[in-house]
A and B are shown apart, each in its own frame.
Chain A
Amino acid sequence: MELTTLLYIALLGPLVGSLFAALFGATPKKTFVGIIASALLFAAMLASLTLLTHVITTGEVVRATLFDWINSGNFHLAFSFAVDEITAVMISVVTIVSTMVHIYSIGYMEHDSGFNRFFSYLSAFVFSMMVLVMSDNFLGLFIGWEGVGVCSYLLVGFWYHKRTASWAANEAFIMNRVADLGMLLGIFLIYWNLGTIQYDEVFANVAKLSVETTWWISVLLFIGAMGKSAQFPLHTWLADAMEGPTPVSALIHAATMVTAGVYLVVRSHDLYALVPEIGVFIASLGAFVALFAASMALVNNDLKRVIAYSTLSQLGYMFVAAGLGAYWVALFHLMTHAFFKAALFLGAGNVMHAMHDELDLRKMGGLYKVMKPTAIFMAIASVALAGIPPLAGYFSKDKILEVAFGDAHFLIYGVLLFTALLTAFYSFRLWMMAFHGESRWAKGLHPHEAHKFMLAVIAPLILLAIVSGFMFEDTYKALVSAELPMYMPHMDHSLVLMLAGMTVVLVLMSIGFAVYKYSRGGFSESLQETFIYKLLSNQYYIPLAYEKFLTIPYTRLSELAWKIDQKVVDAIVDFVATTVYKSGEASRNMQTGNLSSMLRLMTFGFILVLGLGLIGTQFGVLGLIVAASAIFLFFVMWFVFYQIKKNLEKAGA
């Protein structure tokens, strides 16, 4: 099969699935809708994997142009796509995770009335993500960017009748849009200075720009990445986005949308390589976010929120790697993280399904005896997340720590190491609280394991989480070295092994501590009164601050604008309408049906025309204009006086 055909299958398969499901959007659940959407996505996955193998074996970039879009003046743009090494990795990851999530959703959403609508939105999301990663110009990227934003809004707010879900969807979309302004400005700057927005041309010429321009472009593009990948301060939406169904969280907030920011930075590595100071800032911010999120996950009692914070934390890791110049490491971590995080979320979905949508960890416990496969899967995924060899997480995470250490950013290294310990701790805290010990379930709850096929789709993800580290690392390095600089600070091999070993030992100790503590019923209640606990469990009071200092003033401003709109704009429009109406009413009196008055009017018109003709012949066009305006003014004043007289009469009477 031709390569461009494969590209189109990978790109448009999800779109077809989405449109097909949209046909049934208003009808009750039909299982075949889910099956067909998943099948189309499976085809897209096969196409992506074929393209990946092709790129691995031949190193040839597959290009395709759909059709011309903008041809105005000097600016020519087409819907064109290119699958190079970075893109091949991304589309494989996206399609694998998406296919698993789609099949999983057939089971998860089986009792939901919006089943068809869900698949339409989900496939549309995958399509937007494919456009995002497969475009070979910034504008196509932006279209995909906005597309995933819209679809995430639709999906997070899927249960729109829940006020919290609706609010969370709005928060996600608006925060993304705030960041998109920065990204759009960055794209404008690129076009302004370079005259093109195709990746090849931009990155070939980006070195010619002045330092200041490169600074601005990289900062602005990173602002866009901040919104999508939920870096501080635009991070609050990620935890709140857990209001959506769990497959949505697995797809969007583990594997695809939040990684778009990392993809952008990796894609623009030529640009960021020119501004290492910005890179250091990005890395520092990433490290801060990693620690910040991990600290909040320590005390949270909501099952999905803990996993969301862990995603936030791992995103920080990815940005550290990208900021320090090791773009290939960031992409590698992106890949492995997608697998085990999606598996974690799907497992959490199983737990939620079993507990009838109960999310509070304090009300779970002892699920191990009822849901063995899920528990095992989640344990494996947590181990991968913690970074224990030989699972995938170790390979990618450890490389990030290595880069930080080797670059002599010891503070970042220390923060990341501490965060790794926290990560291990809270992952196993989650596992212990959910699966171990006495059951603290609500009365009358009978949890049961999920459908077999739902477990069957988590299995490939777990498998990949286990093997993608040691099996794929070399292929991966060979693949992306064609595109990305294989930056790795040179360190003594023994030093590397020592650091790695120390990390693993500390992580194992942290896991042991968590298991020990929570098998004995966790920490004491009195700790909940301390200031630190309160700070952490209220998310450092940041959402509160946002509400108080941003949302409420803005609402007031909007209400003021609304009042202005009502009083001023509407008044003007109404005034125009009222004028027309009143003048019509006044003119109506001309049609009296009384022959005499009509004759009177006729003579008046006759005199008018005669007079205008006289003035026109004597004084020319200017005189005519003057005369016409004089007559008009006379009429206006007569009308006004007549109104005043009538009002006086009405007031008098």
Chain B
Amino acid sequence: MIGVNHYLILAGILFVIGMIGVIRRKNLLMLFFATEIMLNAANIGFVAVGHYLGDYTGQMFAFFIIAIAASEVAVGLGLLILLYKRKNSIDLDVIQNMNG
């Protein structure tokens, strides 16, 4: 009953929600949250297709994406903390240097 299309549509919707967050959020930390949502949406897509093809490649991809996402969070938060120490704010509009 539930075909691969259902999962893919779900993944697409979650991806778009993540994208809305990326575009909309001004707080850098919230931006990271939105990025996580996008990654997870991709994961769902991979595993769904892998399941319906009977291939384990999809799960492998998702596995590696999780690993990478974790390390990305670590390094990203480290940088974010440094930025906060320098600028005392993590609002995008405040830390903007260039004038356009």
Q: Which residues of A contact B (CB under 8 A)?
A: 588-589, 591-596, 599-600, 603
Neighbouring A residues of B97 by C-beta, 8 Å: 593
Contact A592 B96 (CB under 8 A): yes
Neighbouring B residues of A588 by C-beta, 8 Å: 100
Contact A594 B93 (CB under 8 A): yes
Neighbouring B residues of A596 by C-beta, 8 Å: 23-26, 92-93
CA of A549 to CA of B23, assembled, Å: 75
CA of A456 to CA of B28, assembled, Å: 101
Contact B23 A593 (CB under 8 A): no
Contacts A594-B93, A595-B92, A596-B92: A603 and B100 contacting too (C-beta < 8 A)?
no
Does any Cβ of A come within 8 Å of B19's Cβ? yes
Contact B23 A592 (CB under 8 A): no
Contact A592 B26 (CB under 8 A): no
CA of A592 to CA of B26, assembled, Å: 14
Contact A593 B100 (CB under 8 A): yes
CA of A603 to CA of B18, assembled, Å: 11
Binary contact readout B83-100 vs A (1 if CB under 8 angstroms, 0 otherwise) = 000000000110011111
Contact A603 B22 (CB under 8 A): yes
Q: A596-B26, A596-B93 are in contact. List 20 more A-B contacts (CB 8 A).
A: A588-B100, A591-B98, A591-B100, A592-B98, A592-B100, A593-B96, A593-B97, A593-B98, A593-B100, A594-B93, A594-B100, A595-B28, A595-B92, A595-B96, A596-B23, A596-B24, A599-B23, A600-B23, A603-B22, A603-B23
Chain B interface residue number, banded: 10 to 19
Neighbouring B residues of A591 by C-beta, 8 Å: 98, 100
CB distance from B61 to the nearest CB of A (A): 20
CA of A592 to CA of B25, assembled, Å: 16
Contact A594 B96 (CB under 8 A): yes
CB distance from A201 to the nearest CB of B (A): 75
CB distance from B34 to the nearest CB of A (A): 10
Contact B100 A589 (CB under 8 A): yes
CB distance from A597 to the nearest CB of B (A): 9
The 4 closest A-B pairs by CB, nearest first: A593-B98, A592-B100, A595-B92, A593-B96
22 A-B pairs in the complex with CB atoms less than 8 angstroms apart: A588-B100, A591-B98, A592-B96, A592-B98, A593-B96, A593-B99, A593-B100, A594-B92, A594-B93, A594-B96, A595-B92, A595-B96, A596-B23, A596-B24, A596-B26, A596-B92, A599-B22, A599-B23, A599-B31, A603-B19, A603-B22, A603-B23
Neighbouring B residues of A589 by C-beta, 8 Å: 100
CA of A588 to CA of B99, assembled, Å: 10
CB distance from A599 to the nearest CB of B (A): 5
CA of A413 to CA of B99, assembled, Å: 93
Q: Closest residue of chain B to A588, judged by CB?
A: B100
Neighbouring B residues of A593 by C-beta, 8 Å: 96-100
CA of A189 to CA of B55, assembled, Å: 83
CA of A215 to CA of B93, assembled, Å: 87
Q: Closest residue of chain A to B16, judged by CB?
A: A603
CB distance from B21 to the nearest CB of A (A): 10
Neighbouring A residues of B25 by C-beta, 8 Å: 596
Q: Closest residue of chain B to A601, judged by CB?
A: B23
CB distance from B15 to the nearest CB of A (A): 11
Q: Closest residue of chain A to B20, judged by CB?
A: A603
Neighbouring B residues of A599 by C-beta, 8 Å: 22-23, 31
Q: Closest residue of chain A to B93, judged by CB?
A: A594
CA of A599 to CA of B30, assembled, Å: 14
CB distance from B92 to the nearest CB of A (A): 5
Neighbouring A residues of B23 by C-beta, 8 Å: 596, 599-600, 603
CB distance from B87 to the nearest CB of A (A): 13
Neighbouring A residues of B93 by C-beta, 8 Å: 594, 596
CB distance from B86 to the nearest CB of A (A): 15
